[in-house]
Structure 1
Amino acid sequence: MKSTTEVNPRIAPPGWPEIVVGIAVLALVGFGLPILVSGQVDLTSPLGGALLACLSGVAGLAGFAAAAALRRRTWGSFGLRRASAGWLWLGVAGGVVALLAKGILTPLFLMLTDAPTDTQAGYAAGASSGPWLLVLTAIGLIVLTPIGEELLFRGVVTTGLLRYGPIIATVGSAVIFALLHGINVVLPAALVVGIITAELRRRSDSVWPGVVVHAFNNSITVIAYALIPGVVS
Structure 2
Amino acid sequence: MALPKIYVALDCQTQEEADQLVSRLPSGQVGLKVGKELFTSIGPEWVRKQVEQGFSIFLDLKFHDIPNTVAKAVTSAAKIGVDIVNVHASGGSDMMRAAKDALEPFDNPPLLIAVTVLTSMSDADLADIGIQVTAEQQVLNLAKLTQKAGLDGVVCSAQEARMLKDALGESFKLVTPGIRPANSATDDQKRVMTPKEAMLAGVDYMVIGRPITRSETPEETVAEILASIGE
TM-score by length of 1: 0.23
TM-score by length of 2: 0.23
**Larger proportion of strand:** 2
Of structures 1 and 2, the larger Rg is shown by: 1
